[in-house]
């Protein structure tokens, strides 16, 4: 009896593996680096497609500032330098799409550098009505200080991983893309003696879920900084229009009042004129 039960369990596991394999074949994914289409040489464009349909799109310019140690001239003390790393065009890209989770992996320079971004979709306030949104919940940046292009004379060189801690970034309503022209800086903690690595994103538009049209972002949800800048740009125009309306109304009222008073009979101001009346 136990042997039969074991055989049944093994058969079920085998069937599940076959289903997973077939599902992987059906849900065929492809990734594309379209950075060459951008007029901004610092901006990268990545697309993940599943079954011939876009399921994740990301456009951004990214810059990393990485502290690292070098040996001082006395050969004893350590000095902290900073390396500025940018993502070059032509980087290798991988991605994965899901209903509630998605990811984007970009690597370059023979895997000396790699950027891993994890997205999640969540729902809150279910008792008051479903409020669904997506966000970036984790960022990892792997870098190699033995790579001499950015890290000159690094002390004890090697690979390190800088990761975010309890990240909740780019929170966006479900079904919309996130757009922000203004630079946004996030902090990561490195395995290299807990050094702080900063990542700056600019000219961003990202959508990891619910893309309705192939290669097309859904309606954009603009970041607060862009909304504020847009308001600052339009506020002088609005104030100018309001001021112009006030001037026009004031002149119109004055003209109307002057016209009405001009049509009324004028009483003599000099009392001597009353004698001739």
Do the domain assignments include residue 62?
yes
pLDDT of residue 3 exceeding 90, the answer is: no
Least reliable range by pLDDT among 110-114, 160-164, 195-199, 234-238: 234-238
Instruction: Look up tokens 């290669």; give the residue.
Output: 215
Give the domain CATH number at 201: 2.40.160.110
Q: Following DSSP, what letter does each residue of 61-90 receive, concatenated?
A: EEEEEEEEEEE-TTSSSEEEEEEEEEPPTT
In a domain, 9, yes or no: no
Host H or E run for residue 16: helix 2-26
**What gap in Å lies between CA 119 and CA 209, rounded to an integer?**
9
Q: Contact, 34 vs 130, CB < 8 A?
A: no
**Hunting for tokens 């079920």 — which residue is that?**
12
Average pLDDT over residues 54-79: 94
Structural domain boundaries enclosing 39: 26-221
Backbone angles phi, psi at 249, to 5 degrees: -65, -40
pLDDT higher than threshold 50 for residue 6: no
Residue matched to tokens 């369990």: 9
pLDDT tens by residue, 209-231: 999 999 999 999 999 876 665 44
CA-nearest of 121, 224, 134 to 179 is 224
With CA atoms as reference, report the closest residue to 31 among 121, 93, 90, 119. Answer: 93
Predicted local confidence at residue 235, as pLDDT: 45
Per-chain mean pLDDT for the chain: 82
**Rounded Cα–Cα distance for residues 106 and 87 (Å):** 9
pLDDT, tens digit (0-9, with 9 covering 90-100), for 92-115: 999 999 999 999 999 999 999 999
Q: Say what the alpha-carbon torsion angle 234, 236, 239, 244 is, to the nearest 10 degrees.
A: -110
**Residue range 14-64, pLDDT digits in tens:** 444 444 434 443 346 799 999 988 888 889 999 999 988 999 999 999 999
For residues 112-123, give the mean pLDDT.
95
User: Is 250 among the domain residues?
Assistant: no
Q: Per the structure block, which two tokens stand in for 223?
A: 């970041």
131 inside domain: yes
Domain count, the chain: 1
pLDDT of residue 116: 97
> Quick one: pLDDT at residue 100?
94
Using pLDDT thresholds of 50, 70 and 90, give the confidence band for residue 241. low
| DSSP symbol at 216 | B
pTM of the predicted protein model: 0.71
Report the alpha-carbon distance of residue 8 to residue 14 in Å, rounded: 10
When pLDDT is cut at 50, 70 and 90, the band that residue 242 belongs to is: low
User: Using one digit for the tens of pLDDT, what is the confidence trace for 168-186?
Assistant: 999 999 999 999 999 999 9
What is the maximal distance between C-alpha atoms in the chain? 137
**Dihedral sign for Cα atoms in the order 211, 212, 215, 221:** negative
8 A C-beta contact, residue 83 and residue 68:
yes
Helix (H, G, I), strand (E, B) or coil at 241: helix
Q: Does 11 fall in a domain?
A: no
Within a domain: 189: yes
Higher pLDDT, 85 or 5: 85
Q: Give me the half-sphere count of Cα atoms (radius 13 Å) on the Cβ side of residue 89.
A: 11
Per cent of the chain over pLDDT 90 is 60
The pLDDT, as a whole number, for residue 162 is 98
Residue at 17 is within a domain:
no
Would you say residue 107 lies in a domain?
A: yes
Question: What value, to the nearest 5°, has the Cα angle with vertex 80 and ends 79 and 81?
Answer: 115
Q: How much is the pLDDT for 113?
A: 97
């Amino acid at each position: 009896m136990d042997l039969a039960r074991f055989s049944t369990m093994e058969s079920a596991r085998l069937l599940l593996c076959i289903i997973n394999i077939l599902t992987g074949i059906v849900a065929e994914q492809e990734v594309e680096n379209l950075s060459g289409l951008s007029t901004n040489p610092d901006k990268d464009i990545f697309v993940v497609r599943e079954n011939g349909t876009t399921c994740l799109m990301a456009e951004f310019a990214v810059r990393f500032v990485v502290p690292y140690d070098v040996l001082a001239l006395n050969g004893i003390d350590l000095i902290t330098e900073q390396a500025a790393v940018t993502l070059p065009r032509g980087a290798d890209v991988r991605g994965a799409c899901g209903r509630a989770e998605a990811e984007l992996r970009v690597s370059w320079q023979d895997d000396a550098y790699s950027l891993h971004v994890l997205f999640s979709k969540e729902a809150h306030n279910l008792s008051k009505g479903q409020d669904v949104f997506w966000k970036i919940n984790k960022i990892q940046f792997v870098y190699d200080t033995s790579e001499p292009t950015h890290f000159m004379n690094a002390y004890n060189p090697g690979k390190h991983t800088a990761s975010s801690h309890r990240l909740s970034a780019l929170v966006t309503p479900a079904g919309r893309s996130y757009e922000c022209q203004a630079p946004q800086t996030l902090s990561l903690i490195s395995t290299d003696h807990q050094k702080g690595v900063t990542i700056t994103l600019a000219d961003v538009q990202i959508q990891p879920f619910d893309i309705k049209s192939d290669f097309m972002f859904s309606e954009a949800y603009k970041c607060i900084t862009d909304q504020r800048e847009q308001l600052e740009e339009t506020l002088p125009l609005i104030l100018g229009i309001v001021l112009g309306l006030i001037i026009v109304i004031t002149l119109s009222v004055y003209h109307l009042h002057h016209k009405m008073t001009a049509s009324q009979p004028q009483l003599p101001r000099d009392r001597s004129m009353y004698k001739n009346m």
